[in-house]
Copies of this chain bind each other. A is one copy, B any other.
């Protein structure tokens, strides 16, 4: 980390080829169905966008179609909390891979209400609790933060947020469970209101590739020239994404793709190559691990074609 590495690859051709090659995967897997507002999405969509550290942008497919970013939002709320709260953030959140499913309560019980890491649901709820404490209008602040990251106004999909609030029983269980250990400072309803909204953020692949630029440039957002996190903090977010970012397939991701990544059940996946580029793929059909099938394949093709990887 530190030195920006210019890259002369023909990314236009590479992204186009990838978009082409993943077409046969459309229709495989299942669109997330646990909330009605997500279950309606047409499955045969795919987008990919990339932004290099020196500011060039590339895209293919439906790279400008907004989708529900879901768990990808955990990267942004974590970053905002690291920026605002500092080291005490980690008093109630671990940094280890969980080995259990992303929405498991087992680990929480064993470890007395301290989530294993900020990228499982329980961890993101604990992060949200800190933001609720920190801000008088936390939803507005998260919206502002993400909008600034991609240098464009973004918005919550209120229908998705309402749908999560009505049917997200597992997350309600998680939040109450943490609360029962005395490890949530704010009322469950307020914390979940923020959490359900952050999951309901709508962004496109291109916006997400832009939003992640601070993760491949030592914490600095090059679109607005702002230092979002210190270089050390940015490195830490990347480390967490690599070890814990893709549900219970983090090992498989590191193994097959080798880039810090974070996926969401909306079908999006962001990935970062420190000092080089950030990218985002999207396709709604999910595999058994909860990750986009075409999206994972696209990232794998990207690594094969560019031979880029942190390893």
Q: Which residues of A contact B (CB under 8 A)?
A: 1-2, 94-100, 104-110, 116-117, 169-170, 172-177, 179-180, 188, 234-236, 238-240, 242-244, 248-252, 254-255, 258, 260, 274, 307-311
Q: State in angstroms the CA–CA spacing of A254 and B252 once bound together.
A: 16
Copies per complex of this chain: 4
Q: Are A252 and B109 in contact (CB under 8 A)?
A: no
Q: Are B252 and A311 in contact (CB under 8 A)?
A: no
**Can you add 18 more A-B contacts, CB < 8 Å, to A117-B251, A235-B311?**
A97-B251, A99-B116, A104-B109, A105-B106, A169-B176, A173-B173, A173-B174, A173-B175, A235-B309, A236-B255, A238-B258, A239-B258, A239-B311, A242-B243, A242-B311, A243-B243, A274-B309, A274-B311
Q: Are B96 and A250 in contact (CB under 8 A)?
A: yes
Main secondary structure of the interface of A (DSSP, over half): helix
Nearest CB on B from A271, distance (A): 13
Q: Are A310 and B307 in contact (CB under 8 A)?
A: no
24 A–B contacts from the bound complex (CB under 8 Å): A1-B308, A95-B251, A96-B249, A97-B97, A97-B243, A97-B250, A98-B99, A99-B107, A105-B177, A106-B109, A106-B110, A170-B180, A173-B175, A173-B176, A173-B177, A173-B179, A238-B258, A239-B251, A239-B258, A240-B254, A242-B311, A243-B250, A260-B311, A310-B311
Partner of A311, one of B99, B174, B188, B238: B238
Nearest CB on B from A291, distance (A): 13
Please give me the residue from chain B that is nearest to A303 by CB atom.
B235
Residue from the set A173, A177, A250 with the largest chain B CB neighbour count within 10 Å: A173
Q: Are A244 and B235 in contact (CB under 8 A)?
A: no
Nearest CB on B from A274, distance (A): 5
Q: Are B252 and A96 in contact (CB under 8 A)?
A: yes
Chain B residues whose CB sits within 8 angstroms of the CB of A106 once the complex forms: 105-106, 109-110
Residue from the set A99, A179, A250 with the largest chain B CB neighbour count within 10 Å: A99
